[in-house]
Amino acid sequence: MSAPFTIAIDGPAAAGKGTISKAVAAHFGFAHLDTGLLYRAVGAKVLLGVDPARAARELTADDLAGEELRSPEVAQAASKVAVIPEVRAALRDFQRSFAQRAGGAVLDGRDIGTVICPEAEAKLFITASPEVRADRRFAELSASGAATSRAQVLADVKERDARDRNRAEAPLLPARDAVEIDTSDMSIEAAIAAAIAIIEARLP
C-alpha cells in the first residue's frame, strides 16, 4: 500500500493497546508510533528539571529510547505533562506527520482518534477493567524487580484514569466511530485477531 492509511488505537494504561498496536503494524507492514513514549520522554526530562514546554519542543528520536521511560515515576510524570496545552501542541504536528506517511501507520495513545487523527480510516478503543489492568501492570513491574504493591498499582491506575479522562484538553474517550474491544476476559491472541478483523474490513 503506497497511499496513507491511518489506524488510530486509543485506550487507558495497561489495556493492551501497545501490544495490539505492534502486532497490527507487523501484520499489515505499517509503521508504528507509541505516542505515549513522546509524553514519557517529556516527563522524564521534567523529572530532571527541564521545563515541560521546552522539553516537548526539543524532543528528538533519541529521547524515545531507554528503559527508564517505562518506570512508574516517568508514567506519572507523563500523565501530568499531558494536561499542559503547550506540550500537546508541540507534539501534535509530529504525530500527524507520522500518521500521513506512505505505506500506512498505526498510532496508539489516548487522543489519536479524537484529536490527532480524527479522519483515520480505522479507529479502535482498547479497554479493560481497572482491576485487570492493575494486575497486568503489577505483574510487569514485579517481573522487572520494581518494588511496589498491587494496591498501590491499582491506586495509580485509577488516579491516572481520572486525570486522563477529566483533563480539559483532549480527554481520554472513545471516538464516536471507534470500535471498542474490552480485553478484560480476552487472551492477547484473541484481542489481536479481533483488531485485525476490524481493520481488514476497512482496507480499500
Do the Cβ atoms of 101 and 31 come closer than 8 Å?
Answer: yes
> 13 a known binding residue?
yes
- Residue 148 DSSP code: -
Q: Does 113 carry a binding-site annotation?
A: no
The answer to whether 40 touches 72, Cβ cutoff 8 Å, is no
For residues 171-200, one letter each, b for 16 or more C-beta atoms within 10 angstroms of the residue's C-beta and e for the rest, the string is ebebbeebbebbbeeeeeeebbebbeebbe
Any known ligand binding at 52? no
- 17 is an annotated ligand-binding site residue: yes
Look up cell 498505526; give the residue.
106
- Which residues are CB-neighbours of 16 under 8 A, at least 6 positions away? 126, 128, 136, 183, 188, 191
11 annotated among ligand-binding-site residues: yes
Determine whether the annotation assigns residue 104 to a binding site.
Answer: no
For 68, the grid coordinates are 527508564
Q: What are phi and psi of 11, to 5 degrees?
A: 155, 165
C-beta separation of 108 from 34 below 8 A: yes
CA distance linking residue 142 with residue 172, whole number of Å: 27
Annotated binding residues for ATP, written as ranges, equal: 11-19
Annotated binding residues, written as ranges, equal: 11-19
